[in-house]
């Protein structure tokens, strides 16, 4: 029999329904995998006891015929989602002892469906980063290695704990969040499917805020069907989030189809950037052929403001972050540092200096600067206007097509430590993922092939607002055609 940890989420569910194994057996196998994978440093907090309790409840519910759609399925939770009674840190020293007295809407929905949470997964501090190296709990190591090399690689970020744990077969799927690419880029780096739905599709309530006009929850999974199953569970209107969209959620998994007849797929010429890797260009061309073979018509489109999207993002994101992170002042929760004989003001400044890491400070500084008197119009308001133009490009593009195909990242995963000294080089990694975030559009990364060194590369599909189904269907067509079966060779046990 296949090891339980190798099964897809759909196969786990089928096996549980048939009685091939119990949820306790399934979850126990994954707890063992979690313990063996500690060299990856994917988890900030492990919760094996809670996972086993959920498994036992799932086994009872199955016997009683009341099991939810994810009953007994082992999942990992990005440590940005508040979990009642379980420490939630955002990978920051400032929240290292924070135990939420409430549950995020996304995790509450998963719990209601019966999922078993193995623990809280690492991320870049406050989700700010693209390599999971800014976590106050140390970097996460990718389970992948290049051919013939034992150099440690980044798992992508900010959802790097999520991508490492799913790719290493420690959990069936994981929650993640995406502000400028934090689901799609780690998916591409670790050979996974990563889906960021439309802004407002999933409630942000109880998700620690980074940039509120961009933040969106989503999923990392090993195939498109699994991703669709989790996505439909976590989506839906929530009165507690004022930007949550009050529209019905389609049954994504049941409606999945790789038949793209009647669809038009746009190839945006501005994404063909100077110095782009030739392996990536061939993969992109191949992706277009696969979608054509699945019945889609391929059309060239133009998104002229693409080259300014990244700079726009690095004004809007830090501005919102500097406002959101103003709440960490050492008064109501979190770390407090009180200098001797210091004033309240001294306490704020010392607390924040001790609690935030370098990248978070950098973004707070940029955000505070672009919002400050005299610079607000030139930077923040200007960026908001360019954001309108980026979103308008997509609206016009979707007049000619139903989906947009691009690479997910400019390169495959890079070695740990290779970019930490150059924040700007790190930012440039988000070049293909940021535009869809600025426009609030659903987008996903699907594994499509390997680069010459044997590392995964992903392709990105972007859809119209609320058309997650088309994005998932396009991903399924690529998944079928690429026949991507590569997985990391286990070196950590």
Partner 1 sequence: MVARVANLAKLELKPGEAGHLVGELNAILGWIDQLQQVDTDGVEPMAMVIPTTRQWREDIVTDGNRQAEVLANAPAQNHGFFAVPKVVE
Restricting to residues 258-287, which ones interact with partner 1 according to CB under 8 A?
Answer: none
Contact between 350 and partner 1 (CB under 8 A)?
A: yes
Number of amino acids touching partner 1 (CB under 8 A): 71
Q: Are 223 and 206 in contact (CB under 8 A)?
A: no
Cβ distance to partner 1 smaller for residue 223 or 320: 320
Catalytic residue selected from 131, 135, 159, 182: 182
Q: Which is nearer to partner 1, 14 or 344 (CB)?
A: 344
CA 23-25-27 angle, 5° bins: 65
- Candidates 72-80, 116-124, 221-229, 325-333: pick the segment binding partner 1 (CB under 8 A): 325-333
Smallest gap from Cβ 413 to partner 1, in A, equals 24
**Interface with partner 1 includes 482 (CB under 8 A)?**
no
81 binds partner 1 (CB under 8 A): no
In whole angstroms, give the CA distance from residue 286 to residue 276: 16
Residue 182 a catalytic site member: yes
d(CA 44, CA 34): 12
Subset of residues 16 to 55 that bind partner 1, contact rule: CB under 8 A:
none
Quick one: which segment of 155-163, 273-281, 360-368, 471-479 binds partner 1 (CB under 8 A)?
360-368
Residue among 256, 276, 349, 420 that touches partner 1 (CB under 8 A): 349
28, two tokens:
């126990």
Binding residue (CB under 8 A) for partner 1 from 311, 415, 454, 480 = 311
Nearer CB in complex with partner 1: 21/98:
98
Q: DSSP secondary structure string, 281-333?
A: HHHHHHHHHHHHHTTPEEEEE--TTGGGHHHHHHHHHHHHHHHHGGG-SSSSS
Q: Which of residues 166-205 bind partner 1 (CB under 8 A)?
A: 198-200
Where does residue 410 rank: exposed (0-12), middle (13-18), buried (19+ CB within 10 A)?
Answer: middle
- How far CA 428 is from CA of 221, 309, 419, in Å, comes to 25, 11, 11
Identity of the residue, 162 or 335, whose beta carbon is nearer to partner 1 in the bound complex: 335
From the list 348, 398, 414, 432, which residue makes contact with partner 1 (rule: CB under 8 A)?
Answer: 348
The arrangement of strands across the sheet holding 443-450 comes to: 43-46, 116-121, 74-78, 173-178, 216-221, 193-196, 443-450, 456-463, 403-407, 264-268, 297-301
Of 362 and 487, which CB lies nearer to partner 1 in the complex structure? Answer: 362
User: What is the closest distance, in whole angstroms, from the C-beta atom of residue 84 to partner 1 in the complex?
Assistant: 10
Residue 327, burial from CB neighbour count under 10 angstroms (0-12, 13-18, 19+): exposed
Residue 69 beta carbon to partner 1: minimum distance, rounded to whole angstroms: 27
Catalytic residue set: 78, 158, 182
């Amino acid at each position: 029999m296949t090891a339980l940890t190798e099964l897809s989420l759909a196969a786990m569910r089928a096996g549980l329904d048939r009685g091939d194994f119990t949820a306790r057996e399934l979850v126990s196998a994954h707890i063992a995998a979690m313990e063996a994978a500690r060299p990856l440093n994917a988890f900030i907090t492990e919760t094996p006891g809670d996972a086993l309790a959920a498994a036992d409840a799932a086994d009872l519910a199955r016997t009683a015929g009341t099991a939810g759609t994810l009953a007994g399925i082992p999942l990992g939770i990005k440590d940005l989602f508040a979990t009642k009674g379980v420490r939630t840190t955002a990978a920051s020293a400032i929240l290292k002892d924070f135990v939420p007295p409430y549950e995020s809407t996304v995790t509450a929905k998963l719990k209601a469906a019966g999922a078993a949470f193995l623990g809280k997964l690492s991320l870049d501090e406050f989700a700010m980063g693209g390599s999971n190296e800014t976590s106050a709990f140390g970097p996460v190591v990718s389970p992948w290695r290049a051919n013939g090399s034992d150099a440690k690689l980044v798992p992508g970020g900010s959802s790097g704990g999520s991508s490492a744990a799913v790719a290493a077969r420690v959990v069936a799927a994981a929650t993640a969040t995406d502000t400028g690419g934090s689901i799609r880029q780690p998916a591409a780096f670790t050979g996974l499917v990563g889906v960021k739905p439309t802004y407002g599709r999933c409630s942000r309530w109880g998700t620690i805020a980074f940039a509120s006009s961009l933040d969106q929850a989503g999923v990392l999974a090993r195939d498109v069907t699994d991703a669709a199953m989790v996505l439909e569970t976590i989506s839906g209107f929530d009165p507690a989030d004022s930007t949550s969209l009050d529209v019905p959620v389609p049954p994504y998994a049941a409606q999945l189809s790789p038949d793209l007849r009647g669809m038009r797929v746009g190839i945006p010429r501005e994404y063909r950037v100077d110095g782009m890797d030739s392996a990536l260009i061939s993969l992109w061309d191949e992706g277009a052929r696969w979608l054509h073979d699945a019945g889609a018509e391929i059309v060239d489109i133009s998104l002229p403001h693409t080259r300014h999207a990244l700079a726009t993002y690095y004004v809007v994101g830090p501005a919102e972050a500097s406002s959101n992170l103003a709440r960490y002042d050492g008064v109501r929760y979190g770390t407090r540092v009180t200098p001797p004989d210091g004033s309240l003001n001294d306490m704020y400044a010392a607390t924040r200096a001790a609690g935030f890491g370098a990248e978070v400070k950098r973004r707070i500084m940029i955000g505070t600067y672009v919002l400050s008197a005299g610079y607000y119009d030139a930077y923040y308001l200007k960026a908001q206007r360019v954001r309108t133009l980026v979103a308008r490009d997509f609206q016009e593009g979707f007049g000619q097509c139903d989906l947009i195909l691009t690479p997910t990242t400019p390169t495959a995963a890079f070695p740990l430590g290779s970019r930490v000294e150059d924040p700007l080089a790190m930012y440039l990694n988000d070049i293909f993922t940021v535009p869809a975030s600025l426009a609030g559009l659903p987008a996903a990364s699907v594994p499509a092939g390997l680069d010459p060194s044997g590392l995964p590369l992903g392709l990105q599909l972007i859809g119209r607002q609320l058309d997650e189904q088309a994005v998932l269907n396009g991903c399924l067509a690529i998944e079928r055609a690429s026949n991507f079966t590569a997985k990391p060779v286990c070196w950590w046990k």
